[in-house]
Amino acid sequence: MKKKLLLLALCVTTVATMLIGCSKEPKKSESDATTENSEPTAEPTQEPAAEETTGQYAKADGPIIYWSMWDAGSKTAAAIQEAVDAYCEASGNEVKVEWKGRDIQTLIGASIDAGENIDIYEDDFQRLSTTFADYALPLDDMADKADYYSKSNQALTDSVKGWAGSLKAIPYQGYASGIVYNKAIFEEVGVQEPATWDEFLTVCEKIKAAGYNPLTLDSAYTTVNLGYHMARYLGQDGVKEVVKNGDWAENEAVLKMAKDMENLVSAGYFSEYAPGAFPECENEIGYNETAMIVNASWIPSEVTNNTGCDLEWGMFPYPAVEGGVDGTEGMMVGAQGMSVNKNSKNAQAAFDLIMFITTGEWDAKIAQQTDAIPSDPANAEWPAIIKDFKPAFDQATKGYEWACGIQANEDMTPIITEWGNKLLGGDCTAQQFVDGLEQASNK
């Protein structure tokens, strides 16, 4: 029986590292995170020592060291610091947060290998469960005792277990994705949310006729646009097969996808500046120049922060294509995650802190303060700026990974991005796009 997905929001990170104690406030800005592989250390030879427990929280042996993926001074860093301060007061433990930002992706493996004192570290939840899984402590027993599974999203926790073999990361701040739009333009033009590709093209034409750009795109998300459309034709597993086997010319769905994208460009449905440098094109929505973007639930907060706009936002599932394997039930979803270092001497205290942040009262507060989707399903109220995204999210029953499988071969990802930018920028035809990737696949 298919299970509804419930929870998700926000990508992350940029620059800045700062050691912050429980009483100090963070400073700086946030954006998005990606990672490099590291060589794992050997598994520990014995279980972590038992910790003294006083009341509800385990007593830590010295400060809990928490490496965060967020930039100091970002809204999320400020919200998490507030939760950390509350935990310190409630538990009597001390927590030191280091705001690593984008750098965390290159620091986790090497730092743990070097014996760095780290208790908690963060990154994209899939990366924590794959690239960095060997560094993490399995949290299954502690999760069972804390009744964690009643306070979490099963689709996300099942994904972690599927990748890592056990619960090696606690997902939080998930995201929903689809086509994000300015509701005022839809109302002015008199169009409804489309469910099929043909309906979507009709909406685009009416928006263009009204003097707006129907679509925009920042080049940071080129693979998301391509992957989503290709997954509608093939399903995510089919997309992965193409990418891993190099079947760009052999699978006719690739050319179908590319022709659909070429048609969007030739019809003038993309902004003339797309694909642009992040965040220039997404900001066009805030300036009331463009109606829609294929992206995720962090867009309203991001664009509002960038442009000072005051829009009513909507999101609908990526449209279904004729003869496709998947329809609107397929949605690219994901989350950030927190892991406990397998060498931590404060494992239980670290887990308690993670639970404090990602469930219950503080999860709800952080979601509202950061315009993010709550981690705990019991916190059913979404922030006002993304409240109208919830119906699209609630109808989804099939979760896609980031870029819907088109980044399954990391050696090909920069090449796909290069050719995708040419295709979506009108600098090559659909056939040239396919031929270029076929040649680059080196089969």
Which two structure tokens, joined as six digits, stand for 80? 């998490």
| Strands 120-124 and 64-68, bridge-based pairing | parallel
Model pTM score: 0.79
Give the per-residue pLDDT at 14.
30
Mean pLDDT of 392-415: 93
Q: How many residues does the chain have?
A: 443
User: Please, which pLDDT band fits residue 442 given cuts at 50, 70 and 90?
Assistant: confident
- With a cut of 70, say whether residue 4 has pLDDT above it: no
C-beta of residue 408 within 8 angstroms of C-beta of residue 239:
yes
Domain limits of the chain? Answer: 19-176+333-377, 177-332+394-440
- With a cut of 60, say whether residue 402 has pLDDT above it: yes
Give the per-residue pLDDT at 105.
87
Partners of 96 in beta bridges:
65
Nearest C-alpha neighbor of 104 from the set 33, 175, 29, 18: 33
Q: Which fold has domain 19-176+333-377?
A: D-Maltodextrin-Binding Protein; domain 2 (3.40.190)
Residue percentage of the chain with pLDDT more than 90: 82
3-state secondary structure of 71: coil
Mean pLDDT of 312-323: 98
Q: Which fold has domain 177-332+394-440?
A: D-Maltodextrin-Binding Protein; domain 2 (3.40.190)
pLDDT, one tens digit per residue, over 231-249 is 999 999 999 999 999 999 9
Domains 19-176+333-377 and 177-332+394-440 share a fold: yes
User: Please, which pLDDT band fits residue 443 given cuts at 50, 70 and 90?
Assistant: low
Q: Tokens 């040419």 appear where?
A: 422
Give the per-residue pLDDT at 153.
87
Least confidently predicted of 35-44, 296-305, 360-369: 35-44
| DSSP assignment of 308-360 | -----EEEEPPPB-TT-S--TTEEE-EEEEEEEBTT-S-HHHHHHHHHHHHSH
- With a cut of 50, say whether residue 362 has pLDDT above it: yes
* pLDDT, mean over the chain: 89
Least confidently predicted of 26-30, 55-59, 152-156, 333-337: 26-30
Report how far apart, in Å, the C-alpha atoms of 176 and of each of 50, 105, 188, 298 are. Answer: 39, 23, 26, 9
